[in-house]
Structure 1
């Protein structure tokens, strides 16, 4: 009898805890700058991926602002609960992402995470050294001209192994051709850098990384008349950025021309 009562007591405690947990999840606190508002978490769980109508209404500057806000949420660990299963089902019916991001292959740069973005919101192209080639340009053109993305972002990062290897002149199989695409950035950085222009110098690696991003943007404009025209018509933005691995922050180069 005592054992039976003990079991009932434990079950009651578990039930109470579950109720409290559900209550705690019911509301989520968001800081909007001037005010703190309470938003029903169940509404967050039901957040949809973009429809074509919603995508059409977005301006490129809106998307850029959203990426900045998403990165701020990431660095401040202010993450949203999402119903991933539901988003997967809805995304199967079509996709209308906000942006296309060219990132390095590096596993320490989880693109969707650092912009606090969910399924169906971003096209992500990944290749070592975030270099530009015809296939990547074709992917970007598809993302913007066909699928309606409003922004092209070239994203480099600190401590990039491809950048270091290019500085060192590494030659190995097909990697050699890839690294050759980074060498122009190495050359530009060496013309202006004050200090040791070697891969063991983090400052020089950072300088090459920034130049690689900016030269990548210039190459997109030069080799893709489609994207250049869309940018001229203000249908899209083409911007660059560098991800800081120590802080998680993304520094934008919006004026890269």
Structure 2
């Protein structure tokens, strides 16, 4: 795959889910070491007009401190990115993931939470405000599932961290439960569904086992 043209259909088809994951993690290593690939974005823009065959779809939080393509050192046309505060799934995001994988050929579904997530912290605090109340209800199952010592609110940093991880794991489970298409593709080995947590401090993405 060249750095000055977008990935082609043949290149996408030749990749395995594990190779794509390895590519993303190598990109994250370049990000943390400030050793980015050099890209000709004008050439990429022209190349992108013929179509798109991204390698992966990443579900991330809307947090402005988590620039997904940059975190993985990916260029134009390399990945789909779905974003919502708290990086949880809903019907629209599931449909987007199904499009990415079943229609456009992506082979990796990556749910990525992040350190010090404001949406998770708000869910831990039981915040209720306008449409935010409904949004946070999607994170509540993770809050309720985590056991902790001390306070069960955002002042307990370990509690928030554990809820961030649990929220990623529960989101992955619900993707499988709510999307027979993606579950079947994973069962057949056509895709992988994985999760990870991004560190604001180090820039590293830690995969969840």
Structure 1 residue 195, shift from structure 2 partner = 3.3
State the distance in 2 between where 1:131 and 1:121 align. Answer: 22
Alignment of 1:119-134 (within 5 A): 119-134=76-91
List aligned pairs for 1:32-181, cutoff 5 A: 47-181=4-138
CA RMSD of aligned residues (A): 1.3
Pick the structure with greater CA Rg.
1
> In 2, Cα distance between the equivalents of 1:214 and 1:56?
28
Q: Which runs of 5+ in 2 are unaligned?
A: none
- Corresponding position: 1:220 with 2:170: no
Match of 2:200 in 1: 245
Cα distance in 2, alignment partners of residues 91 and 193 from structure 1: 48
Aligned equivalents of 2:192 and 2:106: distance in 1? 10
Alpha-carbon distance, 1:241 to partner:
0.4
Query: In the alignment, is the contact (CA less than 8 A) between 2:115 and 2:197 conserved in 1?
Result: yes
Q: Give aligned pairs, total.
A: 209
Question: TM-score, structure 1 length as denominator?
Answer: 0.79
Structure 1 position 47, deviation (Å):
3.0
Contact 2:57–2:79 (CA under 8 A) maintained in structure 1: yes
Query: Runs ≥4 in structure 1, deviation > 6 angstroms?
Result: none
Offset at residue 173 of structure 1 (A): 1.0
State the 1:184 CA deviation. 0.3
Asked whether the 8 Å contact 2:89–2:175 carries over to 1, the reply is yes
How far apart in 2 are the matches of 1:183 and 1:204?
13
Report what 1:194 is aligned to: 149
For residues 80-99 of structure 1, give each alpha carbon's deviation from its aligned partner in whole angstroms, at most 9, with x where no partner exists. Answer: 11100110111111000000
Q: Which of the numbers 183, 186, 189 marks the counterpart of 1:234?
A: 189
Name which structure has the greater RCO, CA cutoff 8 Å, separation 6+: 2
CA distance in 1 between partners of 2:78 and 2:44 (Å): 10
- Structure 2 Cα separation of the partners of residues 175 and 85 of structure 1: 39
Gaps (5+ residues) in structure 1? 1-43
- Aligned counterparts of 2:77 and 2:173: Cα–Cα separation in 1: 28
